[in-house]
Structure 1
Amino acid sequence: MTIGRTRRRAVAAAQSDNRPFARTDESDLRSDDPALPGRARDLIRVGEIGIAGGDHAALLRFFHPDFRFHGPAGAELGRDQLLGYFAACRDAFDGFAVTRQMLLSDGGDHLAARTRFAGTFAHRFTGLGEPIEPNGRPFEYRLLNIFRYAPAGQLIEEWAQYDTRSFIDQLRRPA
């Protein structure tokens, strides 16, 4: 009985601050913006401290163990594979930053975002298979993401689209 009550409380807490909203300006959104619902602030925060900052515990709390990523060209990754990609980005890109620039929510299980990854390509990048040597140049790529949350509030699924060719071309530009 206690387990059921605890789960209901967790679900209610995850949904209590989740309402339909849209922030469509292109400025970098902030995790301390009180006008944003909690789920949106958490998404911004995990980009800053987890993905870019390397807080592994924060990533494990945010991403459900059964998380699935659906990316460009049919890429399918589980949670550990995606966290490995993020680690490769942190290792290769000085000043690596993940910013959310637009958010839309249906007030339910889905949230959509426009996300920017950026940094300076300073060290060997191993996140796409064959290593790419650094060129010392800045890069950025923007993603369109759709996120689906599990009932207790963890991220369980993501669909992302971005121009992989442009990203690779930036990495392979001469120094």
Structure 2
Amino acid sequence: MQDEPDLREDDPSLSARARALIRIGTSGIAREDPEALARFFHPDFRFHAPDGSTLSREELWAYFAACRAAFDDFAVTRQQIFSDGGPHVAARTTFSALFVRPFTASPVGTVMPHGRPVFYKINKVFRYVPDGSLMEEWAQYDSRLFLERLGVALTLTLNKI
């Protein structure tokens, strides 16, 4: 499934911001820690999806809740984190789990489980504000591949001009 190792929050060679980014994925998102999420995400946070849509922090948290509801052993891990020391950080992230209950947050509606492991990789850019909270996040991932891994059969229809 993975071709590179996960970063660890206890790695002393990583910056405090990188360790916090790893920790929010493993505990705040994957294990649902509302207090940690509220501390990490600025109240005016915005998530910018690959399709151009934007979510508030509460809408993004609802997506995470749908993941936890559908997937056993849900994990959010970081494989690479890049920073120039300024307000922006980039990361390569993996969401992985066992698909065992209906997933209600897919872009094509509810998807029924198949009982197999699934994962998808995301490239993200984060923007922090001076108080250290996360203000914006831009994400790029292959939605088609993720849907196929969920068991969705996609078909292409060409319209004649």
Q: What's the TM-score once normalised by structure 2's chain length?
A: 0.90
Distance 2:66 2:151 in 1: 16
1:38 aligns with 16
Aligned partner of 2:44 among 66, 69, 93: 66
1:109 aligns with 87
Q: Is the 8 A contact 1:70 1:77 kept in 2?
A: yes
**Map 1:74-153 → 2, pairs under 5 A:** 74-128=52-106, 130-153=109-132
* Cα RMSD after superposing both structures: 1.4
Question: What secondary structure, in the 3-state scheme, does the structure 2 residue paired with 1:153 have?
Answer: coil
Question: What secondary structure, in the 3-state scheme, does the structure 2 residue paired with 1:74 have?
Answer: coil
Q: Is the 8 A contact 2:111 2:152 kept in 1?
A: no
Distance 1:173 1:69 in 2: 25
Q: How many residues align?
A: 150
TM superposition shift of 1:173: 5.3
Distance 1:155 1:171 in 2: 30
TM superposition shift of 1:165: 0.6
Q: What's the TM-score once normalised by structure 1's chain length?
A: 0.83
Q: Is the 8 A contact 2:27 2:33 kept in 1?
A: yes
Distance 1:156 1:54 in 2: 20
Question: What secondary structure, in the 3-state scheme, does the structure 2 residue paired with 1:72 have?
Answer: coil
TM superposition shift of 1:169: 1.1
Distance 2:80 2:98 in 1: 23
Q: Is the 8 A contact 1:48 1:99 kept in 2?
A: yes
**Which structure's relative contact order is higher, taking Cα pairs within 8 Å and 6+ residues apart?**
1
Q: Is the 8 A contact 1:120 1:136 kept in 2?
A: yes
User: Are 1:49 and 2:27 matched, yes or no?
Assistant: yes
Question: What secondary structure, in the 3-state scheme, does the structure 1 residue paired with 2:51 have?
Answer: helix
Q: Is the 8 A contact 1:135 1:173 kept in 2?
A: no
TM superposition shift of 1:75: 2.3
Identical aligned residues as a percent: 57
Unaligned runs of 5+ in 2: 154-161
Opposite residue 147 of structure 1, the aligned amino acid is F
